[in-house]
């Protein structure tokens, strides 16, 4: 018997491979779909593409399994020998397992983007501290100059 492949409707990029003969249903999704969704969600919250891409680079280094955008994540549901094969139930179980993987990957992508943002905030705070120190120094120098001018006058 041939395997049947079903694409989902709507906004989902999940597709299913159904092997009724062996009682197995696979749910699959390309990693590129997760990158695209995260990119859009982050960009819509005013995070720069440069920051997002740096986060993605960090993610790819940390989780080298997902280096290729064409990499598929997949899960499967196996029908017990004691049960009757039901396509809808198998698809639901495989989909729920896939979504657990999906949201784990999505969370880790946002963590990596957050790490980049934290580094940027640290750099900004360093520059602010430097500016405060310099401002304080020049405020004191200017005050000393004004005080000297008052004494001289």
Tens of pLDDT along the chain (153 residues)?
567 777 765 667 899 999 999 999 999 998 888 999 999 999 988 899 999 999 999 999 998 877 776 788 999 999 999 999 999 999 999 999 999 999 999 999 999 999 999 999 999 999 999 999 999 999 999 999 988 888 876
The rounded distance, in Å, linking the Cα atoms of 53 and 106 is 14
In this predicted structure, what is the pLDDT of residue 9?
Answer: 57
Q: How many helices (H) and strands (E) does the chain have?
A: 3, 4
Instruction: Give bridge partners of residue 15 from the DSSP assignment.
Output: 7, 28
What's the Cα-to-Cα distance from 70 to each of 30, 52, 74, rounded to whole Å? Answer: 6, 19, 12
The rounded distance, in Å, linking the Cα atoms of 50 and 116 is 10
The rounded distance, in Å, linking the Cα atoms of 12 and 29 is 9
Token representation of residue 124:
């900004």
Token representation of residue 34:
């997760």
In this predicted structure, what is the pLDDT of residue 150?
Answer: 84
Compute φ and ψ for 45, nearest 5 degrees: -100, 25
């Amino acid at each position: 018997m041939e395997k049947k492949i079903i694409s989902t409707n709507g906004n989902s990029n999940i597709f299913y491979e159904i092997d009724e003969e062996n009682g197995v249903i696979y749910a699959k999704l390309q990693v590129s779909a997760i990158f695209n969704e995260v990119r859009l969600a982050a960009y819509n919250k005013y995070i720069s593409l440069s920051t997002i891409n740096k986060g993605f680079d960090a993610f790819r280094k940390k989780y080298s399994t997902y280096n290729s955008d064409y990499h598929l994540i997949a899960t499967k549901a196996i029908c017990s020998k004691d049960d009757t094969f039901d396509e809808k139930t198998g698809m639901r179980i495989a989909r729920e397992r896939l979504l657990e993987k999906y949201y784990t990957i999505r969370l880790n992508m946002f963590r990596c983007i957050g790490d980049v943002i934290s580094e940027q905030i640290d750099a900004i705070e360093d520059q602010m501290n430097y500016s405060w120190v310099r401002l304080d120094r020049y405020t004191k120098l200017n005050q000393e100059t004004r005080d000297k001018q008052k004494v001289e006058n």
